[in-house]
Amino acid sequence: MANFDLMRRLALEEGGKILLLVMDGLGGLPREAGGPTELEAAHTPNLDRLAREGSVGLSIPVARGIAPGSGPAHLALFGYDPLVYEIGRGVLEATGIGLEVRPGDVAIRGNFCTVDENGLITDRRAGRISTEEGAKRVALLKDIQIPGVQISIEIAKEYRFAMVLHGEGLHGAIADTDPQQTGVAPLPARALEPAAEKTAALVNQWLEEARKRLKGQEPANMCTLRGFAMEPGLPKYRDVYKLKAACVAVYPMYKGVASLVGMDVIETTAHDTTQDQFNKVAQIWDQYDFVFCHIKYTDSRGEDGDFDAKVKVIEGVDAALPTLLDLKPDVLIVTGDHSTPATYRAHSWHPVPTLLWAPATHMPDRAQAFGERECMVGALGQFPATDLMPLALAHARRLQKFGA
Q: Which stretch binds its own copies (CB under 8 A): 129-137, 185-193, 241-249, 356-364?
A: 356-364
Nearest CA to 96 out of 36, 164, 146, 39 is that of 164
Residue with smaller CB distance to its own copies, 73 or 295:
73
Q: What is the nearest approach in angstroms of its own copies to the Cβ of residue 117?
A: 35
Distance in angstroms between the alpha carbons of the first and the last residue of the chain: 24
Output DSSP code: residue 234: P
Residue 53 touches its own copies, criterion: CB under 8 A: yes
Residue 256 touches its own copies, criterion: CB under 8 A: no
The sheet carrying 55-60 orders its strands as 264-265, 245-248, 290-295, 18-23, 331-335, 352-357, 55-60, 381-384
Residue 29 touches its own copies, criterion: CB under 8 A: yes
Q: Where are the beta strands (DSSP E) in 167-248?
A: 174-175, 190-191, 222-230, 245-248
Residue with smaller CB distance to its own copies, 24 or 123:
24
Q: Are strands 106-115 and 222-230 parallel, antiparallel or unpaired?
A: antiparallel
Residues 6+ apart with CB under 8 A from 208: none
Three-class SS of residue 358?
Answer: coil
Residue 390 touches its own copies, criterion: CB under 8 A: yes
Q: Are strands 190-191 and 174-175 parallel, antiparallel or unpaired?
A: antiparallel
Residues 6+ apart with CB under 8 A from 251: 96, 294, 296
**Given candidates 12, 83, 184, 284, which one binds its own copies under the rule CB under 8 A?**
83
- How many residues form the binding site for its own copies (CB under 8 A)? 63
Residues 6+ apart with CB under 8 A from 194: none
Residue with smaller CB distance to its own copies, 137 or 398:
398
Residue 349 touches its own copies, criterion: CB under 8 A: yes
Residue with smaller CB distance to its own copies, 28 or 134:
28
Residue 187 touches its own copies, criterion: CB under 8 A: no
Q: Which stretch binds its own copies (CB under 8 A): 135-143, 303-311, 312-320, 349-357?
A: 349-357
**Given candidates 38, 105, 133, 365, which one binds its own copies under the rule CB under 8 A?**
365
Q: What is the nearest approach in angstroms of its own copies to the Cβ of residue 75?
A: 9
Q: Show the site string, 304-343: x = touches its own copies by CB under 8 A, - = not.
A: -------------------------------------x-x
Residue 184 touches its own copies, criterion: CB under 8 A: no
Residues 6+ apart with CB under 8 A from 282: 323, 324, 326, 327
Residues of this chain that bind its own copies (CB under 8 A)? 3, 6, 10, 29-30, 33-34, 53, 58, 62-72, 82-83, 86-87, 89, 92-93, 341, 343-344, 346-351, 361, 363-366, 372-373, 376-379, 381-383, 387, 389-395, 399, 401-404
